[in-house]
Structure formats: C-alpha cells, structure tokens
Amino acid sequence: MSATHAVADTAALTGRSLRHVLRSPDTIVTSVVTPIAIMLMFTYVFGGAIETGTRGSYLDYVLPGILLITVASGVAYTSYRLFLDVSSGIVERFRSMPIARPSVLWAHVLTSLVANLAGVAVVVAVALLLGFRTGASVGAWLAVLGMLTLFTLTLTWIAVIAGVAATSPDGASGVGYVLLFLPFISSAFVPTGTMPGPVAWFAEHQPVTAVVDTIRALLAGQPVGSDIGVALAWLVGVLVVAYLVAVATYRRRIG
C-alpha cells in the first residue's frame, strides 16, 4: 500500500473523528472549562498567598501549568473514543476494508492534537482577558507551540495504550485523570523548593517540571537554560516508548 493511500486513509478517518468531537459539545466544554476553572481558582483564591519569587503576576507564573492540564484533560477523551471504536467492532469493520492499518490509530492521535491545541488556544485567550502579559517573541511563541505539540503527542500515545487495552470506559478514560495530577506535583503552581523533601525531589525530577519551566521562560522572554534539553529528552523518550507499546498492544488486541 502506497504512502499516498495511507495518508488519504488517515485524513478520512481523522475527519470522521473530528466530526464526532464537534458533535459532543459536552466533551469540548469539559476539557476547556476544567483548566479555566483551575486557573481562576489559583489566581484569585490562592494566588495572593503564594510567593513565587519571580517577576510578573501569579497568572503569568501559573499559565504554563494550566496549559499542560488542558492537554491532560483532553487526552482522557481520546482514550475513551478509541475504546468505543475498539469495543464496538468498528475497527474490525475497518480491517475488512482496503485501508492502511496504522491509519486507525493515527486518526485518533491527530484528532487529539487538533482538539487539544484548540483548547489550549481558548485557555490562552481567556488568560489574556484576565491580564496575562508576555514579552515573548514570535520565535518564542513558536517554540512554546512546538513544546505543547510534543507534549500532546506524548500524552496521546499513552492514552492510546489505555484506550486499546481497557476493558471498560472508566478504565479507558482513567489514564487522563492520572496524568492530570502530574502538574500539581511540579513547579506549575509553586516553586519546588517550598515542598517537603521527598515531594520536592520528585517534583524536581519529573518531566512536567522541565516542560513547565521551559514554557514559562519562553513566555517571559528569558533564557531557558538546560530545562529545554531535559524536557525534550523526557518527552521524546516517553513518546517513543509509548508509541511502540501502543502499536504492540493494538496488534495484540485486534489480531
């Protein structure tokens, strides 16, 4: 099967998945409203009591973590939609047709990428209305977009594993909610130095902290230092492993 045929199949199935997303406004609202509510709560309820040791408002400090929460919230639905396709037998029907086998998974991955980046754009727009200000250059914004894209792909392939392997809807969507908690144990809301010893060690060495610190520096127009290298190493490494496990799990499940 040619690469052109595979791309066409993936595009067709991606269009199908995107239409399903657009027909589920509750999914869109939940995946966007949740991070906006968290942003409002931390900015206007807790923000005045938190000392970050950085210039700028607390909203400027917290936004990078909120963007990652937006992605983590969205990938739960990717896992759920994939589970429905696998469990309903539609994937078996696709296999009986002359389509590229990888297109089924890639359609869900690309749908997740489009939907989550759209959600991120909405959250950034709300943050700007609330007073978020940045001196980031166009290049810095593009770097932020690239980091968020890589982060979304990494989490989506993890969600694919759950969607294919799960035996219930709760099991499929549960992985997204587990990932949702990682930003809370990172530098997303408070400096890691304010945390107790073991918690601080975990927060400093988990991948979300490096990603948050990189995005925060880019949006502030500051040097990113070694954080970007650590973030890229984590994301690329986890992405490769998640992709290989997802493909192997899909082959075992479908046959």
Query: pLDDT digit string (tens) for 83-119?
Result: 877 777 766 676 666 666 677 788 889 988 999 999 9
Tell me the C-alpha distance between 85 and 146, whole Å: 29
Q: Return the pLDDT at 44.
A: 84
User: What's residue 255's pLDDT?
Assistant: 63
Residue type (1 letter), 67 = L
Q: Which backbone phi and psi does 164 adopt, to 5 degrees?
A: -80, -40
Whole-angstrom distance, CA of residue 179 vs CA of residue 72: 6
Residues 6 or more apart in contact with residue 169 via CB below 8 angstroms: 80, 83, 84
- pLDDT for residue 97: 66
**Is residue 55 helix, strand or coil?**
coil
Q: Going residue by residue through the chain (255 aa), what tens digit of pLDDT does each one get?
A: 556 767 877 787 788 888 877 777 677 777 888 899 999 988 888 766 666 656 668 888 999 999 999 999 888 888 888 887 777 776 667 666 666 667 778 888 998 899 999 999 999 999 999 989 888 899 999 999 999 999 999 999 999 998 888 777 777 777 777 788 889 999 889 888 888 889 999 999 999 999 999 999 999 888 888 889 999 999 999 999 999 999 998 888 776
Rounded to the nearest integer, the mean pLDDT of the chain is 85
Taking the whole predicted model, whether its pTM rises above 0.85 is answered as yes
Joined tokens for residue 208:
């979300």
Q: Is the dihedral of CA 137, 143, 147, 152 positive or negative?
A: positive
Best CA proximity match to 125, nearest among 66, 57, 73 = 66
- What SS3 class is residue 37? helix
Query: In Å, how far are 98, 184, 186 from 181, measured between CA atoms?
Result: 41, 5, 9
C-alpha atoms less than 13 angstroms from C-alpha of 121 in its C-beta half-sphere: 8
222 is written with which tokens? 């500051």
Report how far residue 129's alpha carbon sits from residue 39's, in angstroms, rounded to the nearest whole number: 12
* DSSP category for residue 186: T
pLDDT on residue 94: 67
Phi, psi of 122 (to 5 degrees): -65, -45
